[in-house]
């Protein structure tokens, strides 16, 4: 049986205190900031209690500690480490969800480790071939807040089948409706051109399957369309999805860096200009900043999991907790299960793996 504890008001969120480059300090900081903003919620910090207790200190209202002595280290093979370390913080987090003691998991640890733990402990939602890692990318229209475009798979499954891409579209559509509050999400397959003759065997077959889905299907879109505000859900294989995510991150930080160095080299009037423009430049940075953006949901597991960026600051952790709270609130899991069951009418799993 799948547990559907409702989150939202009174949400209990399990936070992997050992995951992320800045753990456990930023994680504790993020948890504190979150419960200050949402005093009706509880964060269960999962990690080395001896280390965590002094960090949490007296300000601990709304924060509980659960001991997990092991952690997945940076150098380890993530999925092997998760299998071996049965007392690791990330496994314990998902156990809390499966035991009904938490509504959702947030981790800034290695996304491969998070996927493995979710699979081992929660398992997949009934009928889901492959759970996906979804990333919410900013669009011009959304101004980087809410809205944006959901890209999946953003890295969990390097190689995919057409039926898996079609399921990603079904799950993305549900997420866009329930969490992003888009009435009729525009769904598309990522390709190297908009014309039907473009793409690979994978994209063509996925598009063909989706023509029978009843989704609001645009067809193919290109990489630039992701940021245009003209599409809500874009599906692709995890290899390409990872490339999109990293390319976008690289472009944005290169632009921000160039702006910074240009201002440093510039004369007094330009420095004054930068000062006056301060809030706007900060706003721009937010668009590409994971700290503002919160985490990326895992879709297709029998429970809610949110992956935060590995370099998450306290603010990023706080925002990922907020995303977890909203995701739980939306009753996403039940709707995902219904949509996957319903998709069997038009979707038959196929056999050949293609990328």
- Footprint on this chain of a copy of itself (rule: CB under 8 A): 77, 138-140, 143-144, 155, 158-159, 190-193, 197-200, 222-228, 238-240, 242-255, 257-259, 261-263, 266, 269-270, 272-281, 283-284, 287-288, 355
Give the number of other CB atoms < 10 A from CB of residue 198: 13
Minimum separation from the CB atom of position 20 to a copy of itself (A) = 17
Q: Give the residue carrying structure tokens 């959901």.
A: 150
3-class state of residue 15 by DSSP: strand
Minimum separation from the CB atom of position 169 to a copy of itself (A) = 18
Distance between CA 294 and CA 30 in Å, rounded?
11
Is residue 238 within 8 A of residue 353, CB to CB? The reply is no
C-beta of 19 vs 148, nearer to a copy of itself: 148
C-beta of 224 vs 348, nearer to a copy of itself: 224
C-beta of 3 vs 254, nearer to a copy of itself: 254
Nearest to 31 by CA among 290, 292, 321, 313: 321
Region for 155 from its dihedrals, namely left if φ exceeds 0, alpha if ψ lies in -120 to 50, beta otherwise: left
Range list of β-strands (E), 199-308 = 216-221, 233-235, 296-299, 304-307
Q: Which residues contact 279 (CB under 8 A, 6 or more apart)?
A: none
Minimum separation from the CB atom of position 212 to a copy of itself (A) = 25
Minimum separation from the CB atom of position 251 to a copy of itself (A) = 4
C-beta of 95 vs 153, nearer to a copy of itself: 153
C-beta of 156 vs 299, nearer to a copy of itself: 156
C-beta of 67 vs 260, nearer to a copy of itself: 260
C-beta of 2 vs 200, nearer to a copy of itself: 200
Minimum separation from the CB atom of position 336 to a copy of itself (A) = 25
Euclidean distance between the first and the last CA atom of the chain, given in angstroms as a whole number:
33
Cα angle 302-170-115, degrees, rounded to a multiple of 5: 40
3-class state of residue 289 by DSSP: coil
Question: What is the four-CA torsion angle of 287, 293, 297, 303, rounded to 10 degrees?
Answer: -160
Minimum separation from the CB atom of position 185 to a copy of itself (A) = 19
Minimum separation from the CB atom of position 184 to a copy of itself (A) = 23
């Amino acid at each position: 049986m799948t547990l559907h504890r409702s989150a939202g008001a009174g949400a209990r969120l399990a936070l992997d205190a050992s995951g992320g480059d800045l753990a456990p300090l930023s994680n504790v900081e993020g948890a504190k900031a979150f419960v200050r903003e949402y005093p009706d919620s509880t964060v269960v910090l999962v990690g080395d209690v001896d280390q965590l207790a002094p960090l949490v200190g007296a300000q601990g209202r709304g924060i509980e500690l659960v001991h997990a002595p092991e952690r997945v280290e940076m150098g380890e093979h993530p999925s092997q480490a998760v299998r071996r370390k049965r007392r690791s913080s990330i496994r314990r987090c998902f156990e809390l969800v499966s035991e009904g003691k938490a509504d959702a998991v947030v981790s800034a640890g290695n996304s491969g480790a998070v996927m493995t733990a979710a699979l081992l402990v929660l398992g997949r939602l009934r009928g889901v071939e492959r759970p996906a890692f979804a990333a919410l990318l900013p669009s011009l229209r959304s101004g980087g807040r809410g809205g944006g475009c959901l890209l999946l798979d953003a890295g969990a499954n390097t190689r995919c089948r057409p039926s898996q891409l079609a399921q990603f579209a079904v799950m993305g559509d549900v997420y866009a409706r329930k969490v992003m509050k888009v009435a009729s999400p525009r769904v598309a397959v990522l390709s190297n051109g908009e014309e039907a003759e473009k793409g690979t065997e994978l994209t063509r077959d996925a598009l063909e399957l989706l023509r029978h889905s009843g989704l609001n299907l645009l067809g193919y879109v290109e990489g630039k369309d992701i940021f245009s505000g003209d599409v809500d859900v874009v599906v692709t294989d995890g290899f390409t999805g990872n490339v999109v995510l990293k390319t976008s991150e690289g472009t944005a930080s290169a632009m921000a860096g160039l702006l910074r160095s240009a201002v440093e080299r510039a004369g007094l009037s330009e420095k004054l200009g930068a000062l006056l423009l301060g809030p706007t430049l900060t706003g721009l940075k937010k668009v590409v900043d994971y700290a503002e953006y919160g985490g990326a949901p895992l879709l297709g597991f029998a429970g809610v999991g949110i992956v935060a960026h590995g370099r998450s600051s306290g603010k990023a952790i706080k925002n990922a907790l907020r995303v977890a709270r909203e995701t739980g609130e939306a009753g996403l899991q039940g709707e995902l299960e219904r949509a996957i069951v319903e998709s069997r009418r038009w979707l038959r799993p196929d056999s050949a793996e293609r990328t």
